Amino acid sequence: MKSKAMSIPLLLFVLIVIQMTMGEAQLCPGYYSTTCPKAESTVREVMRKAMIREIRSIASVMRLQFHDCFVNGCDGSLLLDDTPTMLGEKLALSNINSLRSFEVVDEIKVALEKICPGVVSCADIVIMAARDAVALSGGPDWEVRLGRKDSLYASQEDSDNIMPSPRANATSLIDLFSKFNLSTEDLVALSGSHSIGKGRCFSIVFRLYNQSGSGKPDRAIDPYFREKLDNLCPLGGDGNVTGNLDATPTYFDNRYFKDLVAGRGFLNSDETLYTNEETRKWVVKFSEDQAAFFDAFVKGMVKMGDLQSGRPGEVRKNCRVVNGPKKRVSVPWLAL
């Protein structure tokens, strides 16, 4: 006779699912409309000021969404500073000397803590700020789903294992994005974020002088553009010198895709999207139809923003550190 009791493996599975769904926040638009009605307008305002101070900073903030969401979900783990007991993500291979403008996120957090303390998570700030960066640069504007919690720790190792290199080819990128339920169209549309911002010589010298160990440049680069890049990034030069990721680096538009078609992609991971057959059709489509790019980009950003780890979290007071243990209120007569 079969026992009515649940088998142990099934019980464990149910418990894990319960734990994951408990940790997983229900995201929705307008999440702060009653608890912090000015949250979204405050983020936009700080981003606008940051843009006036340094136009590139908003591209740098936008990039944070990708680097946060791919590593254990969009949980603000990227924003945590290292501690004596935790190596965080800021110094991971793809991030060190590269991610920037964390101080803009700090500024947003300070502004929000002033109007509604302890309410808006750092993870949600990243999502709102990324949307605002695109909208402020002339790209699409959209409604974001909010309600994320901030992680309690970060992992440099996880970031190292997950984030792609600028040398990546389209096949490996398709494979990586599919692990996050993101399609080939999502990959190409999201790479269109390189319509704004800059990259370092460090990220491209291999393709200028020694593509795939050949001792020769990447043949996909247009010769005139290569000359420009060679001048900007001479062999043995300063790897921290930066170049524009497309020809209109402060406007969010489809120029990035037009540049790829012309062999003028900055990163190998960009140009490979045109040389690969599977991704090329999307590059061509987006180069011809900006509205289709904007549409696919928004869908991709929302999908990427939905990635969650299911782990428990909190609303950090300071995006760089987890909240300390709650201080006990000592009531002398209760201690008796």
Residues placed in the known binding site for heme b: 194
Which helix (H) or strand (E) covers residue 44, if one does?
Answer: helix 39-53
For residue 86, the minimal CB distance to ligand HEM (Å) is: 24
164 lies in the site for ligand HEM, by CB under 6 A: yes
Write phi, then psi, for 149 (nearest 5 degrees): -110, 160
The residue among 43, 108, 10, 134 whose CA lies nearest residue 316 is 108
Nearer to ligand HEM, 271 or 322 (CB): 271
Distance between CA 153 and CA 76 in Å, rounded? 9
Nearer to ligand HEM, 31 or 297 (CB): 297
Write phi, then psi, for 29 (nearest 5 degrees): -70, 150
Is 67 an annotated catalytic residue?
yes
For residue 14, the minimal CB distance to ligand HEM (Å) is: 35
Distance between CA 91 and CA 78 in Å, rounded? 10
| Single-letter amino acid, residue 281 | K
156 lies in the site for ligand HEM, by CB under 6 A: no
Nearer to ligand HEM, 86 or 168 (CB): 168
Instruction: Name which of residues 183 to 242 contact ligand HEM (CB under 6 A).
Output: 190-191, 193-194, 196-200, 203
Selected catalytic residue, list 56, 63, 67, 148? 67
Q: CB-based contacts of 307: which residues, under 8 Å, 6+ apart?
A: 69, 70, 73, 74, 180
Nearer to ligand HEM, 61 or 122 (CB): 61
Q: Is 278 helix (H, G, I), strand (E, B) or coil?
A: helix
Binding site for ligand HEM (CB under 6 A): 56, 59-60, 62-63, 65-66, 98, 100, 164, 166, 168, 173, 190-191, 193-194, 196-200, 203, 245, 267, 269
